[in-house]
Chains A and B, each alone.
Chain A
């Protein structure tokens, strides 16, 4: 079946460095993608999204890249801070399904070393 996965369960970076979190998806019909951040004991929070008609989108300190050819999504965090430590999930859906159902990957834990 379709799945969304992340390449690494844990990523450890030095404070101030850039972080790159990767995600592979298998459903070629997916056309809307979201990155969520989940801090310990809390619900996931929206970071940034991208639709399939784009290959890059930038937010504040974050950039999402979409490569539809290889079905790969990445989240780049610039100048990583201790407050960025969390689990990051990518999620996908098909616009045509009109249900809003998101399929989530298993998550990557980002650890920021001071």
Chain B
């Protein structure tokens, strides 16, 4: 398995609270991605990074921000969580553009 660790794996929080999910990789891959997975929607890209401090928005970026201060860590932050952000979040990494993505095990977030 690719060296990807997501934390926390499970979290329950209340509406309006901030939440940060962490993705840590040991592969020294340049590209990192955050996806959310919801029934009926498959996997949708939230944000991605193509290098340290280089990030861009995906198709469902509203309400989320990201940071990448070093190669191995990519943080996803919900500044004020809403119930619509209840989902399973997956981090993915890739060593090259337009190549295979390796996924983490997912972080299940429930916003009450």
Q: List A residues at the B interface (Cβ < 8 Å).
A: 32, 34, 36, 41-46, 49, 89, 91, 93-95, 97-107
Contacts and interface: CB of A to CB of B under 8 A. Distances in A.
A106 B41 CA distance: 5
B100 A43 contact: no
Contact of A100 (B44, B98, B103): B98
B40 A104 contact: no
A106 B40 contact: yes
B106 A42 contact: yes
Interface in B43-74: 43-45, 48, 50, 56, 58
Contacts of B43: 44, 89, 91, 102, 104
A45 to B, nearest CB: 7
Contact of B50 (A43, A94, A99): A99
Contacts of A44: 43, 90, 103
A56 B14 CA distance: 49
A73 B48 CA distance: 26
A43 B58 contact: no
A97 to B, nearest CB: 8
Given A101-B48, A106-B40, A42 B96 contact: no
B94 interface: yes
A102 B45 contact: yes
Which of A46, A95, A98, A101 has the most CB atoms of chain B within a 10 A radius of its CB?
Answer: A101
Contacts of A93: 98
Contacts of B106: 41-43
Given A44-B43, A100-B94, A106-B41, 12 more contacts: A43-B92, A43-B104, A44-B103, A45-B103, A46-B102, A89-B43, A93-B98, A97-B97, A97-B98, A99-B31, A100-B97, A102-B101
Contacts of A42: 105-106
Contacts of B102: 46
Nearest to B96: A100
A104 B98 contact: no
Given A100-B97, A100-B98, A105 B48 contact: no
Contact of B42 (A32, A95, A101, A106): A106
